[in-house]
Chains A and B, each alone.
Chain A
Amino acid sequence: MTDPILQVSHLTIEAGSRTLLRDISLVIAPHEVFTIIGASGSGKSTLLKSLNRLVDLTSSLKVSGQVSFRGSPIYAPGVDADALRARIGILFQQPVVFPGSIAQNVIFGVKHLGQTRKQDWPEIAERALREASLWDEVKDRLQQPAILLSVGQQQRLCLARALATQPEVILMDEPTSALDPKSTEAIEDLIVRLKVKHTLVLVTHNLRQAQRLADTLAFVGGRDGAGQVLAIGNPDDVLSNRDQPELAAFLVTD
């Protein structure tokens, strides 16, 4: 078996006296689509954001346990969380475009991280936009404000912006929940293609999407007041699992 790209061991996240996630352990292999499902408020997004230490930005959250990226613990003292986030990109539920043109948005990360030469930016932008299947739609209007794009295109632009920095892992927090069916399908097709080069961790509560895309499926459910991984494995196995009452209830209501 190949070495995992991400490994979560006994991860617990607390907000004050409240435990959001308890004793989470999971393994994510390279080039797989690892999908997390669960009811609203079960801590899926918090779990996702713990994988690139974006939880650090919420000062009230306390993390214990460990997450390892390529074998190195990311919560160890001295780890550069910013450098880590450049390698583990994230796509949010709502597209977050920055003020400025489409081109400025795509190269925003590479420009400010300062790892590439200015003359390479157009090439990087084109590569990222092609990878995000947006190039053909925007190649003639790269200097137009990004905010003029449709919501679906904005989400793909955000994906292109993340891809431009060449992350090894892309975290996706319900990336299609704000999109129409056509844009959703475009993003889903992209996810399938992107896993050739990247590892994807997808949070969704769309079961059809989870079934279609997931190589590994994890169900996060609330038990004893905290989110826990209650089922994990092959998507068909997880979705047919009736041993966990929380999962059964989720499958019935969703």
Chain B
Amino acid sequence: MQRRFSFTRLFSYSFSALAAGTVVAMFVLLILQSLPVWQHEGLSFLTGTKWFYRQQQFGAAPMILGTMITAFTALLLAAPLGIGAAIFTSEFLHPRLRLTVKVVIELLAGVPSVIYGLLGVLFLRNWIYDLLTPFDPLSGDTLLTGAVLLAVMILPTVMTLADDALRGVPVIQRHAARGLGLNSSEVALHIALPQSVRGLLAALLLALGRALGEAIAVFLVVGRQDNQWPYRLLSMQPLIQSGQTITTKLASSETNIAYGYPLHWAAICGLALVLMVMVAGITLISASFSRRHVP
């Protein structure tokens, strides 16, 4: 039988293709724009620890490390809090109160990141400095400060998506377990959590994606110190010193300076490409988790 023509289908396909095409075009553009730096540095663009643009030396490793440290530490801090809060709202709060809390949390997710950055400058830097006093820090502008600020910023994302995942577990499953004599905590632990694992992972990965891509708030508190490669990688040292992430580098005035110099510009585009690959990878993995989350 011949398929009937549908405007809805036509528009859906067209706009999906447009969205996919835009992403592909961005990747192609960044690859082309960054080609000179790949030819100049090869793989040491990713592994090199020195970035001196006047000497045409472009090693992005400290920024990649800074990005990973801030984003993953933020996730580590936000995950238990966000999931814990989601368990509380979804399993224990009265439905009406739950909605109120959810609206407030979602409002927090909409606060512009520069505001979080300003609050970070105002309070967090000093708190972190005081906290790190035993380690004799140079200032309160550290990767840890950026990570804590990011954790606060991604907390609403983790919480609201985790809450959705937990509420996705059918009510009848909860009632069946309660009918056996389990209390609400046991139902949360043995029914809701195991059945929403995929949704929870998707929530964490989406939050990680946001943390990786966040620029301005981290910019204000991270210290923006180039070439900070720790002596001991597996220690507290990288966390408690100033650093640079890919996004803070891209948001700095160096980007404007680079525009006039092809190799320097290529290095900046190379950083953007690395960031895009990281965020796209995380987003794709989280999307695959979300799709399989069928209660």
Q: Is A113 an interface residue when CB atoms closer than 8 A count as contact?
A: yes
A83 to B172, CA, bound (A): 19
Interface assignment of B179: CB less than 8 Å from any CB of chain A: yes
Nearest Cβ in chain B — how far from A244, in angstroms? 32
B176 and A158 contacting across the interface, CB-CB below 8 Å: yes
CA distance A89 to B182 in the complex (A): 11
> In the complex, which of the residues B94, B178, B180, B194 contacts A57, with contact meaning CB atoms closer than 8 Å?
B178
- CB-nearest residue of chain B relative to A171? B179
User: Is B288 an interface position by the 8 A CB rule?
Assistant: no
Q: Which residues on A sit within 8 Å (CB–CB) of B22?
A: none
Contact partners of A161 in chain B: CB under 8 A:
180
Query: For the complex, is A94 an interface residue (Cβ under 8 Å from B)?
Result: yes
Residues in B neighbouring A87, C-beta threshold 8 A = 181
- Across the interface, name the chain A residue whose C-beta is closest to B182: A112
Cα A82 to Cα B179 in complex, Å, equals 8
Among B236-263, those with CB < 8 Å from A are: none
A99 on the interface (CB 8 Å rule)? yes
| Segment 36-92 of A: residues with Cβ below 8 Å from B | 52, 54, 57, 59, 82-87, 89-90, 92
Contact across chains for B186 and A112 when beta carbons are under 8 A apart: yes
Question: Any chain B CB within 8 A of the CB of A109?
Answer: yes
Give chain A residues whose Cβ lies under 8 Å from the Cβ of B176.
92, 96, 98, 158
Q: Which residues of A contact B178 (CB under 8 A)?
A: 54, 57, 82, 85
**Known A87-B181, A108-B180, A162-B180; further 18 A-B contacts with Cβ < 8 A:** A54-B179, A82-B182, A85-B178, A85-B181, A86-B181, A92-B172, A92-B175, A94-B172, A96-B173, A98-B173, A98-B191, A108-B190, A113-B180, A113-B181, A113-B182, A161-B180, A162-B179, A165-B181
Within the assembled complex, what's the spacing in Å between the Cα atoms of A96 and B179? 11
| B183 interfacial contact with A, CB 8 Å | yes
B281 within 8 A of A: no
Q: Which residues of the partner chain B approach A108 to less than 8 Å between Cβ atoms?
A: 177, 180, 190
Which one, A59, A94, A162, contacts B94 given CB within 8 A? A59
The 0/1 profile, CB within 8 Å of B marked 1, for residues 102-122 of chain A is: 000000110011000000000
**Chain A residues numbered 113-161 whose CB sits less than 8 Å from any CB in chain B:** 113, 158, 161
Inter-chain CA distance A54–B182, complex, in Å, is 12
CB-CB contacts of B161-200 with A at 8 A, as 1s and 0s?
A: 0000000000011111111111100100011001100000
- Min CB–CB distance B232 → chain A (angstroms): 44
How many pairs of residues, A versus B, come closer than 8 Å at their CB atoms? 60
Residue ranges of A at the interface with B (Cβ–Cβ < 8 Å): 52, 54, 57, 59, 82-87, 89-90, 92, 94, 96, 98-99, 108-109, 112-113, 158, 161-162, 165
Q: How far is the CB of B121 from chain A (nearest CB, A)?
A: 44
Q: Which of B175-229 contact A (CB under 8 A)?
A: 175-183, 186, 190-191, 194-195
A165 engages B195 (CB within 8 Å):
no
Q: How far is the CA of A161 from the CA of B180 in the complex (A)?
A: 8
Q: Do the beta carbons of A57 and B175 come within 8 Å of each other?
A: yes
- Selected from B177, B179, B190, B191, the residue in CB contact (under 8 A) with A52 is B179
Query: Which chain B residue shows the least CB distance to A80?
Result: B183
Complex contact B181–A96 (CB within 8 A): no
Closest to B173 in A: A96
B95 proximal to A (CB < 8 A) = yes
Instruction: Knowing A54-B178, A108-B177, A109-B182 are in contact, say whether A99-B172 is a contact too (CB < 8 A).
Output: no
CA distance A108 to B187 in the complex (A): 11
Contacts of A57 in B (CB 8 A): 174-175, 178
Contact B180 A54 (CB under 8 A): no
Of B179, B186, B190, B191, the contact of A90 (CB 8 Å cutoff) = B179
Task: Give the shortest distance, in Å, between B39 (CB) and chain A (any CB).
Answer: 52
Q: Which residue of A lies closest to B180 (CB)?
A: A109
For A92, list chain B residues within 8 Å (CB).
Answer: 172, 175-176, 179
With a cutoff of 8 Å between Cβ atoms, the chain A residues found around residue B174 in the complex are: 57
CA–CA, A96 and B180, complex, Å? 12
CB distance from B89 to the nearest CB of A (A): 14
Give the contacting residue for A83; candidates B181, B191, B194, B195; CB below 8 A. Answer: B181
Cβ distance A243 to chain B, nearest Cβ, rounded Å = 36
CB distance from B211 to the nearest CB of A (A): 31
On whether the beta carbons of A99 and B195 are closer than 8 Å, the reply is yes
Question: Can you list 23 pairs linking A and B with CB atoms under 8 Å apart?
Answer: A52-B179, A54-B175, A59-B94, A82-B181, A83-B181, A85-B179, A92-B176, A92-B179, A96-B172, A96-B175, A98-B173, A98-B176, A98-B177, A99-B194, A99-B195, A108-B177, A108-B180, A108-B190, A113-B180, A113-B182, A158-B176, A162-B179, A165-B180
Nearest A residue (CB) for B181: A86
A61: min CB distance to chain B, Å: 13
Choose among A54, A82, A83, A92 the residue with the greatest number of B CB atoms under 10 Å from its CB.
A82
